[in-house]
Structure formats: C-alpha cells, structure tokens
Amino acid sequence: MNLRDFIRDIPDFPQKGIMFRDLTPLMGNADALEFAVNELAKQFRTDRIDKIVGVEARGFIIGAALAYAMHVGFVPARKPGKLPYKSVRKEYELEYGVSILEMHEDAIKPGERVLIVDDLLATGGTVSATADLVQSLGGDIVAYAFLVTLKDLGGASKLSGGRVVSLLDL
C-alpha cells in the first residue's frame, strides 16, 4: 500500500511558508491505518518494549493503536494543564514558536524500555522534548517511530538514545 496516497498537503498552515502534511485521511481510512500500525509493529517485534509514549495529539492515535497491537502500556505526553496528577514538564522550541509538554511523574519507571511515537517527524523539537521527559523519569529509549519523516528538516539528527523508524520519507 502506498501511504503517500493518503496524505494531504496543505500550504501555509499553520503559518505562511509551512507545508502541513495532513495525515487525517490516512487515519480515517481503516485499511491504511491498519496497514501503517501493522508495519510499525513489525519493526519492533524483536525489541523488548515496556511502554509506548505518544506525543500530543496525533501521536496519541498512532501510539495507542501501536501499544494495543504490541500489547504494551501507553503513556501520553501532553500539553500543559491537561494531566490531573503530579507531572514533569519540558519547554521546547518549535519551528514556529515555543511549547511545553508534560507527563505524569510516575508514567515511566526507571529502566523501562520506551518507544516514542508520533505521526510525523519534522524538526525534532517536540520528540526531543518528549525524550528528555522519558529520560528524566529513568526510562531507556529503544527507538522512535513515525508514519512520516520530513527528511529536509533534519529532525532525526536531534534524536538520541534509539533508532529512528519511519514508514515514509517526504
């Protein structure tokens, strides 16, 4: 299956000069979503993964489905003020601003092996911040998984602690 057929390009969103890659058509197609999740799960069959951390918001969709497929726990990395329990936080830069992510302080136990998942890797700022949160809680990053990587933006170079897996490079 060619996943590129299910990705819509939206110019100048969220601001002028940004080409937004909309993966909602892929997620809205049962066959494409099933294919994508199964293809990602295949990449980690031999790894021991304890938790999948999904990055808000589209990473929740892919991450939770992948956690189900791999029979492991799921942890959300959320925007500030969304989690009801004691949390750790990380401020980071986006390609068009600054943001913050939070995780519950007990979401990852020391030594747990973690797969960080998002729909798309661009500059790597959001995923790198998520990795910092995981590591601050004592988690070991096994890998990062994405449906799409925007190669020209170099985000993979900002990620450490595990291999980077992507189903599609644009």
Active-site annotation, residues = 58, 95
The CA distance from 103 to 117, in Å, is 14
Residue 16 Rama label (left phi>0; alpha psi -120 to 50; beta): beta
CA angle 60, 61, 66 (to 5 degrees): 95
Which three-class secondary structure state does DSSP give residue 99?
strand
